[in-house]
Structure formats: structure tokens, C-alpha cells
């Protein structure tokens, strides 16, 4: 059974526990969500988007408070937390401003004696299962387009994020979203699989999380013929073909990797570097890792924050130790810091080979793996040698060269000459074991949508 608890990752102390929902409460929430759908879908889109615009305003107004909540829940430093809240405001405003255009009837070319259109309609009550690493942002990119479209939502957040889950629900209702159009549920995994997904009133599920969780939920959804959107793991390659300032490039990529203490699906987990600049790159990034010290997110919000939990720390250290025992070279870090909490040393690994744990598994923490290649072709082959396919980036002073390499990478997102960006207007999602479906941008409202063919004979 999932326990909804706030445990401070900086010291491991239990702060608060929330009661898990009963089966009857879950059934009641599903019934209310389903019943509200007929009313919410009939609400003019102008009113639905007005509520989303108000959500954006409230997020901005409560940024400090919201950032403090997730600092306590999962260890995110306040500046990063406020940045996440600001992104949420942009997402809600984006769909408030553009939802009407996104659901306009789309004419289809056909015979002159007929009119054919695609109509975009909501489908009903849908379930969101969200992770702990970006407690507000992950919900925003799921909820904003679906509420704008006219779907209703049941939201199961990560068990370690009950306070932020509660705050999100409060904000929606304060902004004018009906009580039953967005319902937070402290559900167990068993209640998801045994009650919600088999129920015909549920019309689909969106999950952001691990491969294991995605596979489990997708299996249950498939058994019940429900639509799924899955945003799972990533092992994003950053290919450095050349650089006018190797040390600066290394610094930029290291800072990107350390964002959210390395706990991001689209973080640059594999750095693939040309042999003529490899030594300088590795030296610079190793120096940066050794100079990075842990910091209490309460006292020093600019330093290295803890991982989200002691369990996450233990798994991360185990992955690194196993990879080193299999023959990889450890240049920095590799251990947890002494004392309470979930702090780990930033890691730099080289000589990671196929068959090693760190080669194919996602290291969800502050770990940099650097690979040396001697040609563009070898760089592409290595970049694609992964079960994941979320994001990627290519760096070169020759943009045409970067373009040639980037166009051959099998991923849902490619960025040239800059780290990956998460923006409200950029579709987010991957291929292979990174999941299915897209969130954000103009594609987001098409996922849980009845794209209905409407054909008129003249």
C-alpha cells in the first residue's frame, strides 16, 4: 500500500502523513468526475480557458509558498522550485490563449460534392499518475490541455508529494475549475488497477514515471482497452563535435546535468565527445564535479540539493558501484555523504561499456558519463545505442555538421547548440522505451481527444 508522507530528504525526518483513500472514496471520486464531465464539456471554451488563465495568476502569486512545499517534500532548492512554478504559469496561460484555435474544426480535402471535417471533442474522465521530481510542472502539462479541451481529471500524485498535490487542487478550485472537474486522490496502486482502470467511466490514463510503472499501467490499460500516454525514462545523449571553448562547453553541460540534482528524464546523462577535445572536456567536467559541494536547501539554495529520498540515494550509489565493479573508471564522486539525508557526491564515469549497468540503465542522480568517439558516424551509432529515446542535443561550431548528426538521432526531441529546453509551446515526448504520446505545444490537446470525422453530403 502506498503511504502518502512528507519526509524531509535533507535529514530523513517524517514531517506529516496523509490518509490513503478508501475504496469507497475512490469509487465516489470516479462517479463525481464522470458526472461532472457532461457539464464541463458543455461549458464554453472561453469560460474554461478563463479559469486556466486565473490558475496561471495564482501560481505566480503563490510561487514562494509553493516552492517551499516541494523543498520539504523532495528537496528542491527554492530558486529551482520557483522556476518550476513560473513554467507552470506559462503552460496554463499558453493553453488559455490557444485552446480555442487548437480545437477549431479542421476541413479535409475531398470530393466537391461533400464537406469533410475533423472535430475535436473531449472524451470524459481521465486519470493522471504523476511523479515526484517536478511536482507542479508534471501536473500542469497534463491538466492544462485536458481541462481546456473539456475532459475531467482524477489526479494521483506521487506518495511523497501529498502537500503539493493538495495545493494544486486548491488552486484549480480557487480559479473557478469546478470541484469535480479536478479531483486529487490519495490512491493506492491497487485501487488504480482494480477500481479505476476497469471502470468504463474512465476513458484513459497518463503516467509520467519509471519504465516499470509505465509497463504495469499500460498492461492494465490495454487489458481494459484504455488510451495511454506514457512519459518514462531517458538516457539523453549530448554530442560534442567541436568547441571554441571546451571548458565553457563542459561547464554548461555539467550545470545542465546537475539541474534538479540530476533527477530529470531529459537530463544529459551521456556526453559523447570527439577524441581531439575529449581529454580537455573530461578534465574540466571532473574538476567541476569535485568542486560541487552538498548544501542544505534551507540554508544554501544555490548548492547541491539532496536526492528525493534515502531510497533514491541508495539505488543511485548501488548503480554507480556496480558500474565501477564491472570495469568503468570513476573520476569523481560515487558515494553518499556522511550524515543524515539523501545527499550524494556528483559522479563522473568514463570507460562505460555495453553490458555494464550504467550503459543501459538510467542513472537518476548527479552522474555524468563521458564517451570518446572519433567520427560523426560513431557518435550517431553510440547516441542511438540505448533503449531510450527522449531528448538529445548536438554541439558544433559548424551548424550544418550539427544538423547532419542531429537529424540521425532517434529521439523525440533534438536540440542544436544548446541544452534541451522545456517550453510551453514545444511538444515533449519520446520514442522507444521513453514512452508514447506528446505533451505541451499544439499536440497536447490531441491525446485524450475524439478526433471525430464529420462528413456532409451536399
Q: Taking the domains of the chain in order of start, what are their residue ranges?
A: 4-232+434-457, 236-416
Query: CA–CA separation, 302 vs 137, rounded Å?
Result: 21
Class of residue 31 by CB neighbours under 10 A (exposed 0-12, middle 13-18, buried 19+): middle
Known catalytic residues are 231, 265
Specify whether the CB–CB gap between 398 and 426 falls below 8 A.
no
Could you tell me which residues are beta bridge partners of residue 107? Answer: 117
Q: What is the pLDDT of residues 360-398, one digit of tens each?
A: 999 999 999 999 999 999 999 999 999 999 999 999 999
- State the average pLDDT over residues 304-324: 93
Of 328, 175, 348, the closest CA to residue 262 belongs to: 348
Q: What is the pLDDT of residues 400-413, one digit of tens each?
A: 999 999 999 999 99
> So what's the architecture of 236-416 in CATH?
3-Layer(aba) Sandwich (3.40)
Instruction: State the average pLDDT for the chain.
Output: 95
275 band by pLDDT with thresholds 50, 70 and 90: very high
Query: CA–CA separation, 305 vs 266, rounded Å?
Result: 19
Q: What is the pLDDT of residues 431-447, one digit of tens each?
A: 999 999 999 999 999 99
Report CA Rg, the chain: 23
What percentage of the chain has pLDDT greater than the value 90?
91
4-232+434-457: which CATH topology? Aldehyde Dehydrogenase; Chain A, domain 1 (3.40.605)
| Dihedral class, residue 300 (left if φ above 0, else alpha if ψ from -120 to 50, else beta) | beta
Q: Name 194's Cβ contacts closer than 8 Å, sequence gap at least 6.
A: none
Per-residue pLDDT, 1: 44
301 band by pLDDT with thresholds 50, 70 and 90: low
Per-residue pLDDT, 457: 82
What is the model's pTM? Answer: 0.94
Per-residue pLDDT, 109: 81
Query: CA–CA separation, 30 vs 156, rounded Å?
Result: 12
Query: CA 266, 269, 270, 276 torsion: positive or negative?
Result: positive
Specify whether the CB–CB gap between 329 and 312 falls below 8 A.
no
Per-residue pLDDT, 334: 87
Q: What is the pLDDT of residues 46-105, one digit of tens each?
A: 999 999 999 999 999 999 999 999 999 999 999 999 999 999 999 999 999 999 999 999
* Helices and strands in the chain: count of H runs, count of E runs: 14, 18
Query: CA–CA separation, 83 vs 226, rounded Å?
Result: 34
> Where is average pLDDT lowest: 11-25, 182-196, 284-298?
284-298
Query: CA–CA separation, 107 vs 428, rounded Å?
Result: 26
Amino acid at each position: 500500500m502506498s503511504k502518502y508522507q512528507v519526509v524531509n530528504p535533507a535529514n530523513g525526518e517524517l514531517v506529516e502523513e496523509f490518509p490513503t483513500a478508501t475504496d469507497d472514496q475512490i469509487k465516489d471520486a470516479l462517479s463525481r468526475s464522470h458526472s461532472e464531465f457532461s457539464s464541463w464539456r458543455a461549458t464554453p471554451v472561453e469560460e474554461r480557458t478563463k479559469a486556466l488563465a486565473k490558475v496561471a495568476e495564482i501560481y505566480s502569486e503563490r510561487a514562494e509558498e509553493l516552492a517551499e512545499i516541494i523543498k520539504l517534500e523532495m528537496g528542491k532548492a527554492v530558486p529551482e522550485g520557483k522556476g518550476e512554478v513560473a513554467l507552470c504559469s506559462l503552460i496554463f496561460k499558453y493553453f488559455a490563449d490557444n485552446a480555442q484555435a487548437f480545437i477549431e474544426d479542421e476541413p479535409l480535402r475531398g470530393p466537391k460534392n461533400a464537406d469533410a471535417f475533423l472535430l475535436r471533442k473531449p472524451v470524459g474522465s481521465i486519470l493522471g499518475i504523476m511523479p515526484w521530481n517536478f511536482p507542479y510542472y508534471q501536473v500542469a502539462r497534463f491538466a492544462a490541455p485536458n481541462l481546456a479541451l473539456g475532459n475531467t481529471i482524477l489526479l494521483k500524485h506521487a506518495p511523497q508529494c501529498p502537500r503539493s498535490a493538495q495545493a494544486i487542487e486548491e488552486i484549480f478550485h480557487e480559479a473557478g475549475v469546478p470541484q469535480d472537474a479536478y479531483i486529487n486522490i490519495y490512491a493506492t496502486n491497487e485501487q488504480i488497477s482494480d477500481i479505476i482502470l476497469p471502470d468504463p467511466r474512465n476513458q484513459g490514463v497518463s503516467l509520467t514515471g519509471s519504465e516499470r510503472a509505465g509497463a504495469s499501467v499500460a498492461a492494465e490499460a490495454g487489458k481494459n482497452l484504455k488510451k495511454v500516454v506514457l512519459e518514462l525514462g531517458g538516457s539523453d545523449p549530448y554530442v560534442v563535435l567541436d568547441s571554441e571553448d571546451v571548458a565553457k562547453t563542459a561547464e554548461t553541460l555539467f550545470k545542465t546535468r546537475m539541474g534538479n540534482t540530476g533527477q530529470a528524464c531529459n537530463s544529459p546523462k551521456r556526453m559523447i565527445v570527439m577524441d581531439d577535445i575529449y581529454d580537455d572536456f573530461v578534465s574540466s567536467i571532473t574538476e567541476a564535479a569535485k568542486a560541487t559541494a552538498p548544501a542544505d536547501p534551507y540554508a544554501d539554495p544555490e548548492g547541491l540539493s539532496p536526492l528525493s529520498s534515502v531510497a533514491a540515494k541508495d539505488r543511485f550509489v548501488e548503480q554507480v558501484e556496480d558500474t565501477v565493479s564491472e570495469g568503468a573508471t570513476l573520476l569523481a564522486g560515487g558515494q553518499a555523504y556522511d550524515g543524515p539525508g539523501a545527499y550524494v557526491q556528483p559522479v563522473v564515469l568514463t570507460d562505460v561499456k555495453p553490458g555494464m549497468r550504467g550503459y543501459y540503465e538510467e542513472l537518476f542522480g548527479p552522474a555524468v558519463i563521458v564517451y570518446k568517439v572519433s567520427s560523426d558516424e560513431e557518435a550517431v551509432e553510440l547516441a542511438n545505442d540505448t533503449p531510450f529515446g527522449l531528448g538529445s542535443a548536438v554541439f558544433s561550431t559548424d551548424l550544418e555538421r550539427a544538423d547532419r548528426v542531429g537529424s540521425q538521432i532517434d529521439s523525440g526531441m533534438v536540440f542544436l547548440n544548446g541544452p534541451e529546453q522545456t517550453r510551453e509551446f514545444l511538444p515533449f515526448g519520446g520514442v522507444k522505451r521513453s514512452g508514447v504520446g506528446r505533451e505541451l505545444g499544439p499536440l497536447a490537446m490531441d491525446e485524450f481527444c475524439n478526433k471525430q470525422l464529420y462528413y456532409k453530403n451536399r
